[in-house]
Structure formats: C-alpha cells, structure tokens
A and B are shown apart, each in its own frame.
Chain A
C-alpha cells in the first residue's frame, strides 16, 4: 500500500469523524429540541459520507473486494435515503405533541395556519 493512498483514506475518515464530533457536541449543547434535530442531521450526512468514501477506497484499492465495496455503498445510500424521512416524522410529531421551545421562535408560520389542526 502506498503512502499517498493511506493519507487520502485517513483524510476522508478524519473529515467524517470531525463532523460527527461537531454533531455530537451540537446535540449536547443546543438549547431546544428542534435545534438538536438539526445538529443530528450533521452526523447522519457528513459523518456517514466521509467514512463511507474512506472505507470504499480502502475496500477497492487495498482489499480488492468488490462485494464489500458494493455493500458499503448500499449502507451509505440507505442511511442517506431514510434519514430525512425520520427527520420529517419526528419534527412533525414533536410539533403536533405541542412541544414549543422556551425562548420564542423568531417567526412561526405553522402556528397561525396549521393545516392539520382538527
């Protein structure tokens, strides 16, 4: 294995780890529930993309294992497709539950004309 390839793989995985760390700190520090939801999207997009690109390069160039590379691609695509759906569901469920942040929002259009208000 050449040194350049190793450095490239390390940089990809390091970028993923950095954004995952940022998302984790965001989830711990953010003031209310909706903002925490935004920070956890950070983990699910850039963390997964970075690590998947790094491991994909490793599986193709070092292990020379095509099945493993395809499986890594499938896992990445699955996480990226399903994360927004659970995001919508959680956000709408929280709002319908009547959860409001302590500090009032800057603008709240959903309150004045809630299309799902029975």
Chain B
C-alpha cells in the first residue's frame, strides 16, 4: 500500500513535468524570442497548465516520447508512412470525383483490430479518418469465444470492395497498423 501510493505520487509528478515541458516548448516555438520576460511568463503559464491538466492527459508513462528511438519512429511514421497513405487515398478520391457516375457504393463495416492501449487505438482511428475515403465511426470492445478481449472499429467506407471483415481490415489498415505497433 505504501509503495503503491508513493509510485502513484511519482507518476503524477512525472505527468505534470511532462505536460509542462510540452507546453513550454510550444510557447517557445510560438513566440520565438529569447527575451527573459517572455521566457519567465511562459514558464509560469506552462507550470500552471501542467498542474491542472497533467492528470487528465497522461495515463501511461509520461516520458515515453522523450526517448529518442520512439520519437524518431514517430517522426518516420508521420512523414513517410502516413503521408504516402494520404497522398494515395487523396488521388483515389479525386479521380472518383471527376467521373460522371462517381462509382460510390458506401457502407459501414466492422473491422477487428489488435491494439488494446488507449493511445494506440486513438492513433489508429485518427490515421484511418485522416485518409480520405474512410471514417471511423465508433469503437467497441467485446469478449471473444476464448475469453480474450476483442476490439472492433466501425468504419464508413466510400467504396466497399469486399464484405469480408478480415480482408476489409487488411485493405483499410494496411501498413498503418504495423507501424503504429512499432511506436
């Protein structure tokens, strides 16, 4: 009990420090000056914001992205993997818009996924919504036959090519899920 409360307190302080550091970095980026008055104001505001919102925002390890390997994988994922997926999907939708009959057959399909942490699921849902042609509508959890937990994503798909759920998940998620698993 003693150790648990202590670790909880340490976790909370780590959350506050991480959030404050992020806020201060954003402040420096946005004001872009080294005037000491501005820096002091920014530090005070960042610490106040961190004290109030640190507990709400951070639920896992607070210093996860301060590790350079995770950070570079995240950068690579954003600028190479996600960007190429967005360009491909955009080109597909743009071609479809200029056709005469547009060839849309929309549908809502349920797709299984393996990610179980909150952040992984949020990343995956945001990436799916950010590529045009697919929008995540909701997530749901259910117990499978063997007792393990299953997570489903409900996805509105502009052009339903197959109604098989596994194959559709493979077509929609593709590379995204693999790279999010690596972060």
A residues whose Cβ falls under 8 Å from a Cβ of B: 18-19, 22-23, 25-26, 29-32, 34-35, 37-39, 41-42, 45-46, 49, 66-67, 70-71, 74, 80-81, 83-85, 87-88, 91-92, 95, 101, 105-111, 113, 115-116
Contact pattern, B 89-105, Cβ under 8 Å of A = 1, otherwise 0: 01001100110001011
Contacts of B102 in A (CB 8 A): 29-31
* A to B CB contacts below 8 Å, 10 in the list: A22-B93, A29-B97, A38-B156, A39-B93, A39-B97, A45-B132, A70-B32, A106-B106, A109-B108, A109-B110
CA distance A37 to B136 in the complex (A): 12
Cβ-closest 4 pairs across A and B: A106-B107, A84-B129, A109-B110, A22-B94
* Cβ of B13 under 8 Å from chain A: no
Contacts of A111 in B (CB 8 A): 108
Establish whether residues B32 and A91, one from each chain, have CB atoms under 8 Å apart when the complex forms.
no
CA distance A113 to B140 in the complex (A): 10
Instruction: Tell me how many residue pairs across A and B have CB atoms closer than 8 Å.
Output: 122
8 A Cβ contacts from B7-31 to A = 26, 29-30
User: What's the least CB distance linking A80 to chain B, in Å?
Assistant: 7
User: What's the least CB distance linking B79 to chain A, in Å?
Assistant: 11
What is the interface residue range for chain B against chain A? 35 or more
Establish whether residues B135 and A115, one from each chain, have CB atoms under 8 Å apart when the complex forms.
no
Establish whether residues B163 and A107, one from each chain, have CB atoms under 8 Å apart when the complex forms.
yes
B residues whose Cβ falls under 8 Å from a Cβ of A: 26, 29-30, 32, 83, 86-87, 90, 93-94, 97-98, 102, 104-110, 125-126, 129-138, 140, 154, 156, 158, 160, 163
Contacts of A83 in B (CB 8 A): 129-130
CA distance A63 to B53 in the complex (A): 38
CA distance A33 to B126 in the complex (A): 20
Nearest to A110 among chain B residues (CB) is B108
Establish whether residues A42 and B108, one from each chain, have CB atoms under 8 Å apart when the complex forms.
no
Contacts of A110 in B (CB 8 A): 108, 110, 137-138, 154
User: What's the least CB distance linking A58 to chain B, in Å?
Assistant: 17
CA distance A115 to B140 in the complex (A): 7
